[in-house]
């Protein structure tokens, strides 16, 4: 069996917040809490969850922008320790906001060639930047322009070109289309799918949009409060087993003339989240909660071949 592109074992990331009172303890937020994950080389893997679920923090651990508080993170055979240069351009990230990820004072050629910091020959850097722009449908004439001269979709293409200029093996896309107009999302999604097929990249897509994950990914993991609660083939989004995944699916708007959505499920989901300590973190919002859910944290176990669920009472 070939080595996975990403191997995460019992990874946790804790952040200490400012004290609420002078001599009181500093509160701790567990953004990632004991995650185990393996992504095969060449796969398109999706991570979904609502805001605050820890999916973006997990992505930053994978590319080395953050260091895990505990556990191990191995990417492309290398164990990461918080240094993004450890991968030497083999793993790159596309950020959510194309407006904020491009320096407005720098020309596109300089922005795209930025990851080639070891290359001293300016002509080589410029040629590689032009080739990377061509791969995303832009021309060499765009090298001397500034970000404000492009539309939102074009800026995201430029951000993707920058991530491809080192010819990486792994691409992590954090909400790659959420800041774009609906009319141009399909263009960027098609571009990402084409790049994965042509370059045989391993891609991890972070999103709260189930349709994006279903379109781009072969497998998917669902995160809630720093933990993976369900994992399997992307088809699990059509037939989820964990109550949280079911709630995410049911929250997707559907045009069904003559039918009004039942509001009871949404009301039962509302709440402040699970308290600290043992037990399932979703139990205070779960319509299927049992007494055991408050006492024991459910392990991420096999529901079916290739399908794992962390739930005492799966659907």
pLDDT digits (tens, 9 = 90+) for 143-182: 999 999 998 889 999 999 999 999 999 999 999 988 788 8
Other CB atoms within 10 A of residue 14 CB:
14
Other CB atoms within 10 A of residue 259 CB:
8
Residues 6+ apart with CB under 8 A from 53: 223, 224, 225, 226
pLDDT(271) > 60: no
Dist CA 158 CA 281 (whole Å): 39
For residues 125, 131, 137, 138, the Cα torsion angle rounded to the nearest 10 degrees is 40
pLDDT(142) > 70: yes
Exposure b/e, 148-175, CB count within 10 A at least 16 = b: eebebbbbbbbbbbbbbbbebbbbbbbb
What value does the mean pLDDT of the chain take? 87
pLDDT(272) > 60: no
Residues 6+ apart with CB under 8 A from 34: 10, 11, 12, 71, 226, 227
Using a cut of 0.85, tell me whether the model's pTM lies above it: yes
Dist CA 75 CA 11 (whole Å): 13
Exposure b/e, 292-313, CB count within 10 A at least 16 = b: ebeeebbebeebeeebbbbbbe
Locate the domains of the chain by residue range.
91-165
* Structural contact between residues 47 and 37, judged by C-beta atoms closer than 8 angstroms: no
DSSP 165: T
pLDDT digits (tens, 9 = 90+) for 33-90: 999 999 999 999 999 999 889 999 999 999 888 899 999 999 998 887 655 567 778 8
Dist CA 280 CA 269 (whole Å): 14
Query: According to the model, what pLDDT value does residue 132 have?
Result: 94
Average pLDDT over residues 23-38: 90
Exposure b/e, 231-254, CB count within 10 A at least 16 = b: bbebebbeebbbbbbbbbeeeeee
């Amino acid at each position: 069996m070939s080595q996975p592109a990403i191997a995460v074992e019992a990874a946790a990331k804790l952040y200490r917040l400012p004290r609420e009172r002078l001599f009181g303890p500093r509160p701790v937020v567990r953004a990632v809490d004991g995650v185990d994950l393996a992504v095969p080389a060449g796969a398109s893997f999706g991570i979904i969850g609502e805001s605050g679920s820890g999916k973006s923090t997990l992505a930053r651990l994978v590319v080395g922008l953050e260091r895990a508080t505990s556990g191990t993170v191995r990417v492309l055979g290398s164990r990461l320790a918080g240094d993004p240069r450890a991968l030497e351009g083999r793993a790159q990230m596309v950020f959510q906001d194309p407006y904020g990820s491009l320096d407005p004072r720098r020309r596109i050629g300089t922005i795209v060639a930025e990851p080639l910091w070891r290359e001293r020959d300016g002509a080589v850097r410029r040629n590689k930047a032009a080739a990377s722009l061509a791969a995303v449908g832009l021309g060499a004439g765009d090298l001397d322009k500034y970000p404000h001269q492009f539309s939102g979709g074009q800026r995201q293409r430029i951000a993707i070109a920058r991530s491809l200029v080192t010819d990486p093996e792994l691409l992590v896309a954090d909400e790659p289309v959420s800041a774009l107009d609906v009319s141009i999302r399909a263009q960027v999604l098609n571009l990402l799918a084409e790049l994965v097929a042509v370059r045989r990249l391993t891609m991890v897509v972070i999103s709260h949009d189930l349709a994006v994950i279903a379109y781009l990914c072969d497998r998917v993991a669902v995160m809630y409060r720093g933990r993976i609660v369900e994992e399997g083939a992307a088809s699990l989004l059509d037939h989820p087993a964990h109550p949280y995944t079911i709630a995410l699916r049911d929250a997707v708007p559907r045009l069904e003339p003559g039918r009004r959505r039942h509001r009871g499920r949404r009301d039962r989901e509302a709440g402040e989240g699970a308290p600290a300590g043992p037990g399932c973190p979703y139990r205070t919002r779960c319509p299927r909660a049992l007494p055991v859910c408050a006492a024991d944290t459910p392990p991420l176990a096999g529901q079916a071949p290739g399908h794992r669920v962390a739930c005492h009472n799966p659907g």
